[in-house]
Amino acid sequence: MNVGIVGAGLAGLAAGCELAGHGHRVTLFEKRPFAGGKTYTFTDSETGDVTDNGQHVFMHCTTEYTSFLRKLGTLHLARRQKRLRAPVFGPQGRRSVIAAAPLPAPFHLLPSFVAYKHLGVRSKLRVGRLLAAVHRMREDERLGLWEISFDAWLRDHGQRDEEIGRFWDFLLLPTLNARSSEVAASDALFVVREGFLASSKSAAIGLAKDGLDTLHVAPAIGYIEARGGTVELSSDVRRIDADGNRAAAVFADGTRREFDAVVCATGHRQALNLLPSSVTEDPAFGALALMESAPIINLHCWFDRPVASFSMAAFVDSELQWVFNRSRLSDERDAGREQLVVSLSGAQRYMAMDKGELERHFIPILRKALPGSAQAKLIRFVAIKEPEATFVPAPGLRRPPNSTRIVNLVVAGAYTATGWPATMESAVRSGNAAARAINVVCQGARK
C-alpha cells in the first residue's frame, strides 16, 4: 500500500519504520525543517555543542522504545543503568540516594527507602504501607480509578502533605509532567506499579550519549529511506481527507497528494484541525477537544569548568527538580567546561519568564545547590520552552484509539490510548499500533 504519514515526530517515525519494514511505500510529511517532533537535536550556535531540546530518558520497562532502538541498531548509543540509582539532594545540600537493590519486588527499594533522608520515620511508614498495598492491587481495581485524582486517592489512604510533596509528586512530576492533584489515580498508579514496583530493573534509566538525532531520528529516517520510503521536511499539511477508499493530504498551497491510507501522527491539538469532522465528532475522539497540555522548560547551562560530581541528580524542596550533566553523560568530555541541563516539568509558572528572567532566577538557585559552581563562570545559557510538551492525564479523560470510523485513516501519538504516559514509549507504542491497523486494512483489501 501507498501510505502517507503526517508528522515526523517519534510516533510518525515509529509507524513509518514499521510500515516500511512490511513492504509498504511510505511518505512522511513534516511541517518543520527537521524531524523528531518533541525529541529533536540542535547545534548550539556559540559552543558548537550538539544537544537535545531537553533531557529525554527511557527506562528498562519501556520495552517497545528499546525494541525500536534495537531495530535501528542504535541501542548501544544509549547509556543504560542496570538498576535505578540516582542521588537526591535536599536543602543545604543534604544528599540521599534512591536505588534498586538486586532483590525480589517490591523489596528491591527497601534498603534505599529505609536510609532515605528526605522523609521522616512516620512518613516512611505511611508511604511504605501504601506502596505495599499498591503492589498488591488488582489491575481492574487500578483501572477503575480513572475518574478521581491521585491526590484525592492518596489522602483517602492516609497520605499527608509531606508524603505527597516529597515522595509521590517527586515520582510523578518527571513522568506525567503534572502533579498528583492534576492526574487520574489510575494513570499515577500505573507509573508507580510499572515503573518502580514491577521489578528491581524496571526503573533503570537510559539516556542518549550523543543526542536523540543520533539515537533514533536520523537512523529512523535512514531505515525508511533504505526501504523505498521518503521523508519530506517543510511540508505543511493543512487537512486530511479520507473516505475509506482513498485518502489524501492537502497542503497549504492547495496541493493534494493521494494515498491508499494515511496516518495522522501529530500532536493532539494539530490532529483536531487536520482530521475530518466525521472523525473528530466521533465520541471516541471527543478527548481531543478536552485534553489540556502541560509545558516543560529545559535550561542549558555551560560553565567554564566542572561544577557537578554527578551524571544526573534529583532535588526535593527545590525548584530545580532534575539536573543532568551532559558533559559526563556524553562520551566526549571537555575538561575546560561543563554543560548542565535543568529539566523543569509542569513548568506553567515559568512560561511567562523570558530568557534573562529565567537565568536570573535559576542560576543563583543552581549555584547554591552546587557549591562547586560558586567560582565558575557561566559562559552560555539557553532556555528551551515546550508549551505543549505533553497532554495531562486528567481525571475522567478517555484517550482516543488509533483506528477511526474511516478504515484507511488512523492516528498515532503519545496521547492515544496506549495505557502509558506521554513518553517516548507511548509515542512508539502508538506508532506501532497505527501500523498494525494499516496492515489489517491491507489484508482486508487483498481478500
Residue 357 is predicted with a pLDDT of 98
**Gyration radius of the chain's alpha carbons:** 22
pLDDT digits (tens, 9 = 90+) for 179-201: 999 999 999 999 999 999 999 99
Domains of the chain: 2-40+212-291+397-446 (3.50.50.60), 85-197 (no CATH), 293-391 (3.90.660.10)
Mean pLDDT of 83-109: 93
**What are the angstrom distances between the C-alpha of 29 and each of 252, 345, 420?**
12, 29, 26
CB 418 within 8 A of CB 426: yes
Residue 374 is predicted with a pLDDT of 86
Is pLDDT of 222 > 60?
A: yes
**What are the angstrom distances between the C-alpha of 100 and each of 105, 107, 112, 132, 207?**
10, 9, 7, 16, 18
Residue 444 is predicted with a pLDDT of 67
Q: Report the candidate in 292, 288, 324, 352 with the shortest Cα–Cα distance to residue 208.
A: 324
- The residue among 184 and 45 whose pLDDT is bigger is 184
Is pLDDT of 336 > 80?
A: no
Task: Concatenate the DSSP letters of all residues of 102-169 into one string.
Answer: SSSTTGGGHHHHHH-SSS-HHHHHHHHHHHHHHHH--HHHHHTTTTSBHHHHHHHTT--HHHIIIIIH
- The residue among 265 and 447 whose pLDDT is bigger is 265
Which pairing describes strands 261-264 and 409-411: parallel, antiparallel, or unpaired? parallel
Mean pLDDT of 314-332: 90
Residue 333 is predicted with a pLDDT of 60
pLDDT digits (tens, 9 = 90+) for 203-215: 999 999 989 999 9
Q: Report the candidate in 261, 237, 266, 260 with the shortest Cα–Cα distance to residue 249.
A: 237
Residue 92 is predicted with a pLDDT of 79
Cα gap 364→228, rounded to integer Å: 52
Mean pLDDT of 356-360: 97
Residue 332 is predicted with a pLDDT of 61
CB 224 within 8 A of CB 210: no
- The beta-strand segments (E) located in 245-292 are 247-251, 256-259, 261-264
Name, of 40-49, 152-161, 367-376, the range with top average pLDDT: 152-161
Cell triple for 196:
518502580
Cα gap 37→11, rounded to integer Å: 9
Residue 154 is predicted with a pLDDT of 98
Mean pLDDT of 402-409: 95
- Displacement of CA 312 from its chain's centroid (Å): 17
Q: Is the peptide bond before 106 cis (omega within 30 degrees of 0)?
A: yes
**Percent of the chain at pLDDT exceeding 90:** 90
Is pLDDT of 72 > 80?
A: yes
- Displacement of CA 196 from its chain's centroid (Å): 17
CB 293 within 8 A of CB 413: no
Helix (H, G, I), strand (E, B) or coil at 412: coil
Mean pLDDT over all residues of the chain? 94
Residue 402 is predicted with a pLDDT of 97
Residue 367 is predicted with a pLDDT of 95
Confidence of residue 58 (pLDDT cuts 50, 70, 90): very high
Mean pLDDT of 358-384: 94
Residue 48 is predicted with a pLDDT of 84
